[in-house]
C-alpha cells in the first residue's frame, strides 16, 4: 500500500478499498489491515473521515470567500491544474428555486464536474436565462468560466453553504460513497444593476474541501459574522 501511494498509483484524495476488500485482496485479517492503515496514517500518507473511510492524504481544495472569483482561478494561483468536464448541456424548464430567483420559466442548464490535478472535487450545475445562454456552446462552457461568457458585467454574488449527503448521482461523479458528507453551495450572481444573472449549485466532497473567510472586527455579538440560523 505504501508503494502504491508513494508511486502515485493511488492519486491524492482517492478513496481506498474498504477494510474488508483489502483483507480479501492481501489475504490477511481485518485486524492486520487496520494496523497497516493506522501505520500509514501515522506516516501522513493516508487519512480517514467518518462517512468516507480511508483515502490518500492530500491538501484540501481551499476557496477564499472574501472576493468574487472562481475556485479554478484560485487553484491556478496555487499551482494546481484544474479542468471542467461537462456532463449535461441543454435548455430545460426552470426548477422552482431557479424560477423564483431568475423570474423565467425556461433556462440553459449546464452540469459539469470540476477536477483538480485530475481528481473530481466538485459537481457544478449552472442555470442562466435563455437570452443569456442562447449563443453558448457545450465546448465554450467546458473551456471558459461562465462569468466570461454571459456578456454582462458582474457586480456581486451571494453564496450560501450548507451540509448535505451525497446522493447516488453525485457519489458516482465525485467518486465518494453514497450518503457521505458533502458541502452544498448555492451561488446567486448579479449584474451591476443588482439583477440576478446566474444561479448555480456546487457540491463538494467534505473530506477534500475547505472554505476560508476573513472576519473583520465587529461589534460584540452572540453570532459569528457571516453566519445565520436556518429556519
CA distance 84 to 187: 18
| pLDDT tens digits along 194-227 | 999 999 999 998 877 777 777 666 565 555 555 5
Which of the four pLDDT bands, split at 50, 70 and 90, describes residue 128? very high
Q: Compute the chain's Rg from CA coordinates.
A: 20
As a whole number, mean pLDDT of residues 76-101 equals: 86
Please list the residues that pair with 191 across neighbouring strands.
Answer: 154
Characterise 151 by phi-psi region: left (phi > 0), alpha (psi -120 to 50), beta (else): left
Q: Domains (ranges, CATH) in the chain? A: 2-56 (1.10.10.10), 61-212 (3.40.1410.10)
What percentage of the chain exceeds 90 in pLDDT?
30
* Average pLDDT of the chain to the nearest whole number: 83
Which of the four pLDDT bands, split at 50, 70 and 90, describes residue 87? very high
Characterise 226 by phi-psi region: left (phi > 0), alpha (psi -120 to 50), beta (else): left
pLDDT score at 186: 92
As a whole number, mean pLDDT of residues 119-147 equals: 87
pLDDT at 229 exceeding the cut of 60: no
pLDDT at 51 exceeding the cut of 90: no
Bigger pLDDT: 61 or 151?
A: 151
CB 41 within 8 A of CB 2: no
List, as one string, the DSSP characters of 145-171: -GGGTS-S-EEEEEEEEEEEE--HHHH
Residues in CB range of 168: below 8 A, 6 or more apart: 178
Q: pTM of the entire structure? A: 0.73
**What DSSP element (H or E) covers 90?**
strand 82-93
CB 187 within 8 A of CB 202: yes
pLDDT at 152 exceeding the cut of 90: no
pLDDT score at 76: 64
pLDDT score at 123: 94
Q: Give the full edge-to-edge strand order of the sheet including 154-165.
A: 82-93, 106-116, 119-129, 196-205, 181-191, 154-165
Amino acid at each position: 500500500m505504501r508503494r502504491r501511494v508513494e508511486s502515485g498509483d493511488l492519486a491524492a484524495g482517492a478513496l481506498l478499498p474498504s477494510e474488508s476488500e483489502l483483507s480479501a485482496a492481501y489475504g490477511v485479517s481485518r485486524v492486520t489491515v487496520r494496523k497497516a492503515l493506522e501505520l500509514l496514517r501515522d506516516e501522513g500518507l493516508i487519512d480517514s473521515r467518518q462517512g468516507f473511510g480511508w483515502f490518500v492524504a492530500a491538501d484540501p481544495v481551499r476557496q477564499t470567500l472574501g472576493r468574487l472569483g472562481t475556485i479554478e482561478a484560485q487553484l491556478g494561483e496555487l499551482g494546481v491544474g484544474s479542468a471542467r468536464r461537462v456532463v449535461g448541456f441543454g435548455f430545460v424548464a426552470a426548477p422552482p428555486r431557479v424560477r423564483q430567483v431568475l423570474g423565467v420559466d425556461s433556462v440553459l442548464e449546464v452540469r459539469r464536474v470540476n477536477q483538480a490535478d485530475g481528481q473530481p472535487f466538485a459537481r457544478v450545475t449552472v442555470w442562466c436565462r435563455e437570452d443569456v445562454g442562447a449563443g453558448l456552446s457545450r465546448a465554450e462552457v467546458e473551456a471558459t468560466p461562465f462569468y466570461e461568457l454571459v456578456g454582462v458585467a458582474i457586480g456581486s454574488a451571494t453564496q450560501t453553504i450548507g451540509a448535505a449527503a451525497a446522493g447516488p448521482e453525485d457519489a458516482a461523479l465525485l467518486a465518494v460513497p453514497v450518503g457521505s458528507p458533502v458541502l452544498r453551495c448555492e451561488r446567486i450572481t448579479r449584474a451591476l444593476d443588482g439583477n440576478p444573472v446566474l444561479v448555480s449549485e456546487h457540491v463538494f466532497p467534505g473530506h477534500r474541501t475547505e472554505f476560508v473567510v476573513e472576519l473583520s472586527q465587529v461589534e460584540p455579538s452572540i453570532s459569528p459574522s457571516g453566519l445565520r440560523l436556518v429556519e
